[in-house]
Amino acid sequence: MSPVSRCSVYIESLVNTPEGQKPFGFATGFLYAGPNGTRWLVTNWHVVTGRRPDDPGMLLRGKPASPSSLRFKVEDAGGTGWQQMELALYDADGPTWVECDRDQGIDLALIQLKDRPRFRLPLSQSFAPNSSMMLEPGLEVVMVGHPFELGTHAASAIWKGAMVASERDTTEGRPWILVDAPGVPGMSGAPVYYRTIVSAQTGGDRRSDLADPRSDDRGASRRAKDWVKLELVGVYAGAVGEKALEALRLGRVFPIDLVEGVLRRRERGRNPFPPNF
């Protein structure tokens, strides 16, 4: 499995019930390197709360309460197997995730991975640097996440292409861009990458939306050595809480600079309706 697919983890939301913790719903998160050697799970605020970002008093469909923890597992590239991780979403002081500018509509949540892993984690920066490029309408991007329950249709994360469908609007309290990918259960929290294909012959980049290199039999052996170059551009959040986006089959992407902003400010998360313990 590629490090890109291993970086995007399948998240189970665990909810407290009279019979104990039970999974209610699934989503995507990805592993991210923070300052001073810290490691983080990046996902959406609506994933850690189970609530609509536009109306926190409303639970997402199928959720009996906000989750109390998240569970996921990571595969070791060295072949030693999987490590399961469970992150408590609350401690004695409240939520354990960090966020910022929720009142501005930023649907992001980051949870620090404090336990030492058994092996080197596939952090996104190890294969895809953060991008500083301006996302413009018409650019092709790819999301890597889990739109189905794990293992239903594939043994690893799903790579799903999309096109940037809007400019970024920072003046009207909408700090996201839109992509022509409708909200699909499970894809929330997926990393979004800009993809180019690097030529093995010249070392130069060519756009990912060109014809499939395998289609040219004459150049097949040469082009087979071309490789994919990724830059991390943002976090997918779907259309949760936005009926108009659902109707238009569009989804929101929060640019990666907002993730860095969360890490700089590290505001303790907020959930006006936390779970009962």
Q: Is the pLDDT of residue 2 over 60?
A: yes
Average predicted confidence (pLDDT) for the chain: 88
Say what the pLDDT of residue 34 is.
Answer: 97
250-258 average pLDDT score:
95
Please give the Cα distance from 224 to 1 (Å, whole number).
19
Digit-coded pLDDT (tens) for 186-218? 999 999 999 988 877 665 665 544 334 333 444
Lowest model confidence (mean pLDDT) among 58-67, 236-245, 246-255: 236-245
Q: Which residue has the higher pLDDT, 148 or 64?
A: 64
pLDDT on residue 155: 76
Q: What is the rounded average pLDDT of the residues 25-33? A: 96
- Say what the pTM is: 0.89
Tell me the C-alpha distance between 121 and 17, whole Å. Answer: 32
Q: What are phi and psi of 81, to 5 degrees?
A: 110, -150
Q: What is the pLDDT of residues 152-177, one digit of tens each?
A: 677 789 999 999 999 887 667 678 99
Residue 10, pLDDT above cutoff 80:
yes
Alpha-carbon distance of 37 to 187, in angstroms, equals 27
